[in-house]
Amino acid sequence: MAIFAAPFALQRKCYACLHSNAIVNQGGLMLPIWARGLAGQTALVTGTSRGLGEAIALALADAGAQVLAVARDPQGLAALAARHPAITPMAGDVTDDAFVDGLAALDIDVLVNNAGTNKPQPMAEVAVTTLDLMLNLNVRAAYLVAQAAARSMLRRGTRGAIINITSQMGHVGSPGRTVYCMTKHALEGLTKAMAVELAPAGIRVNSVAPTFIETPMTAPMLADPAFAKFVQEMIPLGRTGTPDDVAAAVVYLASPAAAMVTGTSLLVDGGWTAR
């Protein structure tokens, strides 16, 4: 995907190109440095064996990054890696402290903290095991993975980017999703606190908050005609999202185009939270 270069193919001069932070593309055209994509960057993406993580890994690789794809499913990872030469599979469990500790020794320029789960239930029916499962993966593991990436960046003096995948449910409430909303609100708070703390080191931290996206995780929910109708009616743009919608937002936040963006949440929700 020529995500960055396309808008400049029709012009040889632009204001940004008059300054020293410009590069020349293969056609000899002057491009601002933020249009270079992610060439030379190493991106770690968790939860990549399917759905959002798969699309994000492919988009980052298309944008020029070398992608370390983390998931528990070796077969899913192998299938993903076969689709792009810039993707390296890393089978591992982000709830395994020993595995996560090892991530800090890697050279990470971009982290996409994507692994997570949801088990919708009325609050009165939520079992402690469900509560612990979601807190462990959606909050504790996400924190420790972000910590490992921050340690990697700080160790090397890298002005990196950390992107937490949250949800529109990290901005609102919803029946049957008390635990999920709690975990995603927690990640939104973590994003802001990390952004403030790591900004002096040049590390940017943002979140991407999608609406209902057509993935294997949401398929059972959207298979219910009544629920699918409710979702469609709540989204002003009139459709559910696709994994590519989310991946495009991630590529933007990871790229030099977002050099002045930190501590914010990019809502990819079709207008759900604008109501």
Active site residues per annotation: 180, 184
**Listed residue (54, 45, 3) closest to 214, CA to CA:** 54
Alpha-carbon distance of 46 to 49, in angstroms, equals: 9
DSSP code of residue 213: B
Regarding beta strands 161-165 and 204-210, do their DSSP bridges make them parallel or antiparallel, or are they unpaired? parallel
Alpha-carbon distance of 15 to 6, in angstroms, equals: 17
What lies within 8 Å, CB to CB, of 193 at 6+ separation is: none
Crossing angle (nearest 10°) for helices 74-81 and 51-62: 30
Q: Is the backbone of residue 146 left (phi > 0), alpha (psi -120 to 50) or beta?
A: alpha
DSSP code of residue 212: S
**Listed residue (267, 191, 253, 248) closest to 41, CA to CA:** 253
